[in-house]
Amino acid sequence: VTQFEMHGVEALGLLKMDFLGLRNLSIIERCLELIERTRGERVDIDNAPLDDSKTFELLRSGDTIGVFQMEGTAMRALIRSLRPDRFEDVIALVALYRPGPMGANMHNLYADRKNGRVKVEELHPALTEKLADTYQIMVYQEQVMMVAQEMAGYSMADADILRAAMGKKIKSVMEDEEAKFVRGCVEQGHSEETGREMFRLIEHFAGYGFNRSHAAGYGLVAYQTAYLKAHYPAEYLAALLTATKKDKDRTALYLDECRQMGVEVLVPDVNESESDFTVHEGRIRFGLSAIRNVGEGVVEKIVEAREKEGRFESFLDFVDRVDPSVLNRRTVESLVKAGAFDGLGHPRKGLTLVCDQILDAVLERRRNEDMGQFSLFAGEAEAGVEETMAIPDVEWTQKIRLAFEKEMLGLYVSDHPLLSAGAALAAATSVSVTQLADLADKAAVTVGGIVGSTTRRWTRGGEPMIFFQLEDLEGSVECIAFPRTVHDFGPLIVEDAVLVVSGTLDHRGDEVKVVAREIKELEMRDDSVVRLSVAAGRLTPEVVGSLRGILQNHPGPAPVYLHMTDNGDTKILKLGDELRVEPRSSLFAELKELLGPRAIL
């Protein structure tokens, strides 16, 4: 280990190595532990087949939320376009999804050549076999070195010097290397013109070429996470949720992915939960430590009491057996509001009405017993107390239950106010909240969701501004309404309102906000049918094939109608019953990526 700057260390002849700590390796390890515990299987992930059909089916669908390196909206669109069917494609995806290759459009060229949309053109007959795996595109730094060896007779060491010089654009070294490269090409039987042309070509590729060894390592982790998600979705998603439990937006995203994949997520339970997320019979159970005001010490005492004497039979039994040092009012009330006693048959509201009384009575009795203060009439007294502590059979409204649940867990778990509006929301918006991070500053966006907290402020001129949180099924974003917007739409901005907000993106570093220009209430739509609008000229064989694939990936009861426009005329085509779909946000997101943001009618 050295504290010297990297260039000085390299000049001394020392080997510089980077060690990267990846959270995803811990996620994989946690997932494997859950699989062994819940299914009794010991999965050897390091020897998982690299040609697994189920894994590539998941990758081609673009359902890669939670897959290492492949979560972004643009990356998922590239995956669907590239349609990977071999591990080499996964490595290429990691290498190509970077600013350099994307700026040169190499990512789309690779996808188009792979799928026959564009003819594969060789760079030089001598390189055809060497570049076959990447469709005659130089994707990796190692390929630049290989070309120097093949065309100009470079040694491996000299080829690496050339690669480094090109990557760092050291002009003086580049001039010397060009002369050397051309001379080498001539010595290998190529013309001087070919040598100069090839040098310019590899100079272009070297500007963005990625280290293949690095890409392969990342690609393997990406493949392994996709493999686990495809074969063990509940265990993998539980491991993801555990790893991101302190990041509420990421947790919300993965909870929505659970819904999309049909994996049920349950609220915490004093008889079932551990500290972190667990899996039981294909369902994910929230961990107790995720509850506000419930620390690891509290969880340890709850689990300890459960393991010592078995499951809790009632709330009274719970208070009677758990170490009293962790049973304070705030902790117990948080457990109630989060739903941790639902499994005991107690209504949450009823329990909150008497939990203080029960807690005081039982803890007082336990303290007296510990001190040896027994009453001659203890049995009668205790029975009388228990009779007066019956839990009322009353419950909060769904709205209040969910509000408390979110307060304690930071998220809606048992239900979500937007679930019934998911399709309408997807149709009315251009992007989801989590997709905002992929967009450029000042981009025009339309987002939608339920209004959370609101804060009113005033400008120096005394005009009102409103800052408000807008939450969809995947996450939340802060929106800003300046005075003019407040004047036009201010009355709509109230907590729990479901709104559609159009505006511009304020993207500074990692922080993303939406500056609202227009606000309207969400209009519910008829989810019994799906209607798509597209210009007839856009319906190329490639687009039609992609459209069919998207619809087939979301089977359901709703028929699909295609509204084709051509020179002002519109023809409506009802698609076949084999293309009926389940209207949901993930379907609409994919359709808008393919057909445009206004494709959903």
Over the stretch 390-410, which tens digit does the pLDDT of each residue have? 889 999 998 899 999 989 998
Do the Cβ atoms of 549 and 518 come closer than 8 Å?
Answer: no
**pLDDT exceeds cutoff 70 at 350:** yes
Over the stretch 116-137, which tens digit does the pLDDT of each residue have? 999 999 888 888 988 999 999 9
pLDDT tier at 384 (50, 70, 90 boundaries)?
very low
Nearest-angstrom CA–CA distance, 302 and 581 = 45
pLDDT tier at 516 (50, 70, 90 boundaries)?
very high
- Residues 43-58, mean pLDDT to the nearest whole number: 96
- Residues 472-492, mean pLDDT to the nearest whole number: 93
- Residues 259-282, mean pLDDT to the nearest whole number: 92
How far the first Cα of the chain sits from its last, in Å, is 60
401 or 18, higher pLDDT: 401
Residue with tokens 């990356």: 75
Task: State the pLDDT at residue 374.
Answer: 54
Do the Cβ atoms of 539 and 515 come closer than 8 Å?
Answer: no
Q: Which segments within 378-497 are labelled E, that is strand?
A: 444-458, 464-471, 476-481
Comparing 138-152, 178-192, 349-363, 522-536, which segment has the lowest mean pLDDT?
522-536
**pLDDT exceeds cutoff 50 at 471:** yes
Percentage of the chain with pLDDT > 70? Answer: 96
566 CB-contact burial (10 Å; exposed 0-12 / middle 13-18 / buried 19+): exposed
Over the stretch 217-265, which tens digit does the pLDDT of each residue have? 999 999 999 999 999 999 999 999 999 988 888 888 899 899 888 899 9
**pLDDT exceeds cutoff 90 at 437:** no
Task: State the pLDDT at residue 383.
Answer: 46
Do the Cβ atoms of 514 and 502 come closer than 8 Å?
Answer: no
Residue range(s) of every CATH 2.40.50.140 domain in the chain: 419-521
Comparing 102-106, 331-335, 365-369, 486-490, which segment has the lowest mean pLDDT?
365-369
Q: What share of the chain is helix, strand, coil (3-state, %, to 5)?
A: 55, 15, 35
Nearest-angstrom CA–CA distance, 392 and 419 = 30
Task: State the pLDDT at residue 567.
Answer: 76
Q: Supply the pTM of this predicted model.
A: 0.81
Task: State the pLDDT at residue 387.
Answer: 46
**pLDDT exceeds cutoff 90 at 114:** yes
Mean pLDDT of the chain: 88
**pLDDT exceeds cutoff 50 at 165:** yes
Over the stretch 517-554, which tens digit does the pLDDT of each residue have? 999 998 876 667 888 888 888 888 888 888 988 898 88
Task: State the pLDDT at residue 57.
Answer: 94
pLDDT tier at 381 (50, 70, 90 boundaries)?
very low
Retrieve residue 68's tokens: 């290492």
Task: State the pLDDT at residue 51.
Answer: 96
CATH superfamily membership of 419-521:
Nucleic acid-binding proteins (2.40.50.140)
**pLDDT exceeds cutoff 80 at 376:** no
Do the Cβ atoms of 370 and 412 come closer than 8 Å?
Answer: no
**pLDDT exceeds cutoff 80 at 170:** no
Give CB contacts under 8 A, 24+ apart, made by 571-574: 571/536
Polymer length in residues for the chain: 601
pLDDT tier at 205 (50, 70, 90 boundaries)?
confident
Task: State the pLDDT at residue 26.
Answer: 95
